[in-house]
A = this chain, B = another copy of it.
Amino acid sequence: MVVYAGQGDPRRSMDLMWGNRVSNLRPGPKPGLSVDVIIDAAIGVADVEGMTGLSMRAVGERLGRTAMALYTYVPTKGDLVDLMYDRVLGELPTHYEPRLGWRGSVTSWAEDHLEFHLRHPWTLQVSQARPVLGPNEFATLDTASGILHETGLRPPVLRGILGVVLHFVRGAARTESEARSAEEETGVSDEDWWHSRSPLLVEVAPDFAARFPMAVRMEQDKPAPPEDPEKPYLESAMAESFAMGLGVILDGIEATIEKARVG
């Protein structure tokens, strides 16, 4: 029998997602666990060990059970991940002060999402192809739509803009979180890594500067690496590129509004 990625029976999945719990008075031993504590334990594992460290065995162990015990509550690991995802999505704000205007709101929204993904990097591995259809996922979509609605643009354009902002924020978060886990998993800092490889690079490609002149030029005026690696991302020097990129996007939205007003 083949079980498809992350989906058991659709009805069961939906009931779990929207909290339709089944009646409690039935024969058999009292449940020692619940879907909720399993979701929380799984989030705890994933936050620390990442998506690759999230195994049914690890979650079970955290709850003093075996991996198989979880299957009493949750049909597959894929469903559990969907539930985890919609749960943490609840951490995101669902309201932004209208007096911020769309520019301020989009900025706050982007920063909130960036921090969210850095807090729960495993969320970046959840496929966006088929939405989880959970309450919090719809709530975040509703919030984003509300902000963008202020621009007065029509839905097809708004979907394009939402795609740009989402892809940008997720991409930036992905780059940063991959950098962090590379450092953690190899035990080698970015700086040490580069120091070990740059001499090899000049050895193996002595004509480097002549061969890739534009790439070299692109490295000009790089900010110094952060003094304190524990600083939150948005206050670190690495955020420069994020701020620059977001500024370009905001200006692009503004130009699009202007075009629509004139044309």
| Closest Cβ–Cβ distance, residue A20 to chain B (whole Å) | 7
On whether A159 and B127 interact (CB within 8 A), knowing A14-B204, A250-B252, A251-B251, the answer reads no
Interface: A214 (CB within 8 A):
yes
Chain B residue nearest to A204 (CB atoms) is B18
On whether A255 and B244 interact (CB within 8 A), knowing A128-B175, A142-B213, A218-B145, the answer reads no
Which A218-235 residues have C-beta < 8 A from chain B? Answer: 218-223
Interface: A26 (CB within 8 A):
no
Q: Could you list some 29 contacts between A and B, CB below 8 A? A: A4-B186, A5-B185, A7-B186, A10-B197, A10-B200, A11-B200, A15-B204, A127-B182, A128-B178, A129-B181, A129-B182, A133-B197, A133-B201, A139-B212, A145-B214, A145-B218, A154-B221, A155-B222, A159-B218, A160-B242, A160-B243, A160-B244, A160-B248, A163-B168, A163-B244, A163-B245, A248-B255, A249-B252, A252-B255
Besides A156-B223, A163-B245, A164-B245, 19 other A-B contacts (C-beta < 8 A): A18-B204, A138-B215, A141-B212, A145-B214, A145-B215, A149-B217, A155-B217, A156-B240, A156-B244, A159-B244, A160-B240, A160-B241, A160-B243, A160-B248, A161-B248, A164-B168, A167-B168, A248-B253, A249-B249
